[in-house]
A and B are shown apart, each in its own frame.
Chain A
Amino acid sequence: MGNPMRIRASAAGDVVEVKVLIRHDMETGQRKDAAGTVIPAHFIKTLVAKCNDKTVLESHMGTAVSKDPFLSFKFKGGAKGDKISVTWTDTKGDTRTDEVAVS
């Protein structure tokens, strides 16, 4: 299981703004360590955000997303107290889900 994400979800009227900060190295596979060995690629490939059971965003990512990916988006139809869940899966098959209530 990866590192915990920080998710913030706040409602203004029926628009919910979601900001996610994920902890992940997002290695491109182009960097070398001090010994000159290539550090293998290791990055998040897919991410799904849901509000209760409805998918509100799906993302596919590649090596050009910055380390510790940040994502921000808005959707309609959410309300305070709804559950926002974000799930990512990476190239090693590792996956992580975190949840937060809309405030």
Chain B
Amino acid sequence: MNQSRRDVLRISSVLGLAITAGLIKPSDVFAGEWKANVFEAKNLEAAVKALGGEGFVVSKDVTVTGPDIAENGAVVPVSVASAAPNTEFIAILVEKNPTPLAASFTIPSGTEPAVSTRVKMGGTSNVHALVKADGKWLIASKEIKVTLGGCGG
């Protein structure tokens, strides 16, 4: 086996071992660390504040799409799209959940500022999309009614 192949094997196995041994966390390898304080914020205001989005304005450029009534709160399809130029960040928050922030997305240039996913809702609630575009924070919401809550057993 030639030397450069040995190097690649050695480096990738050391990286893998280092991650397994807890010496470096996989989050170190990703840009942008997962922040417990935003995901553990217990109400909408605290979550928005933890994200840095307190100065948000309501914007028609941001749309939240989802069912008016979700039969199963454990699996609620939600889509967010932003028509605001230079959208770089989208966060989905379920207001009445014990911890409102469901997910956040960093949008590199070239990626359309629109994401679709499925979230758990504990009960009927507003679902908010908090978006950062051109350094400004925008928000839009939709109320989704839930017949069977999806957070606990």
Contact = CB atoms under 8 A, between A and B. Distances in A.
* Dominant secondary structure of chain A at its interface with chain B: strand
Contact of A64 (B27, B106, B115, B120): B120
A45 B32 CA distance: 11
Contacts of B116: 70-73
Interface residues of B, number: 45
B12 interface: no
Contacts of B153: 30-32
A95 to B, nearest CB: 5
B74 interface: yes
Contact of B31 (A31, A55, A67, A69): A55
Interface residues of A, number: 34
A66 B74 contact: yes
Interface in B98-117: 98-108, 110-112, 114-117
B60 interface: no
Given A73-B114, A89-B27, A95 B19 contact: yes
Contacts of B39: 60, 62-63
Given A45-B27, A73-B111, A62 B101 contact: yes
B27 A46 contact: yes
B144 to A, nearest CB: 13
B117 A71 contact: yes
Contact of B76 (A62, A66, A69): A66
Contact of B103 (A32, A64, A67, A93): A64
A55 B106 CA distance: 10
Contacts of B55: none
14 contacts: A30-B151, A32-B153, A45-B27, A57-B105, A57-B115, A59-B103, A60-B103, A64-B97, A64-B99, A64-B119, A73-B115, A74-B112, A76-B110, A89-B27
Interface of B: 19-20, 22, 25-27, 30-32, 34-35, 39, 74-77, 79, 94, 97-108, 110-112, 114-121, 150-153
Closest 6 CB pairs of A and B: A64-B102, A66-B118, A62-B39, A75-B111, A72-B116, A31-B153
